[in-house]
Homo-oligomer: A and B are copies of this chain.
Amino acid sequence: MAGKIDAKLAELGITLPTPMAPIANYVPFVITGNLVVISGQVPAVDGKIVLTGKVGPGGLSIEQGQAQARQCFINLLTHLKNACGGDLDRVEQVIRLGGFIAAPAEFSQHAQVMNGASDLAVAVFGDAGRHARTTVGVPSLPADVPVEVEGMFRIA
């Protein structure tokens, strides 16, 4: 019996992958009180990096960057669902997203790229998806991915 958020994901055509087992001494998420703190997610699809490089002049387009930011949020959702014991309807609030955009010094459209994650947050959770956000550029990210997004959530 799927919940409301699962139904919304299906409506958006989003299937959450099985979360990967942790491969290091850090874990995908930590629950403390009613907070879920989720590790920075790269835009892997089913555990595979599909696009590398930087966003901006001579590199990936804004639209490509947005799609990568959106995929980072899907990966956050995968771990969030696990943190909720499978029931995403327990999510009360997307508190904060932190977005890191790999880009050169002359890039200035980080906010547009990060909207790929923010827009999906609101599409999935409605008003509870409206979050505080910090977006910055970085010269490089793990595995040469173009975007990384971390998140903090409140659950019931």
Contacts and interface: CB of A to CB of B under 8 A. Distances in A.
Contacts of A131: 26-27, 30
Contacts of A105: 54, 102, 104, 139-140
A111 B143 contact: yes
Contact of A154 (B27, B32, B152): B32
A61 interface: no
A89 interface: no
A44 interface: no
Interface in A114-148: 115, 118-119, 121-122, 129-144, 148
Nearest to A108: B144
Contact of A134 (B34, B119, B150, B154): B150
A15 interface: no
Interface of A: 22, 24-30, 32-35, 37-40, 54, 93-98, 100, 102-111, 115, 118-119, 121-122, 129-144, 148, 150, 152, 154
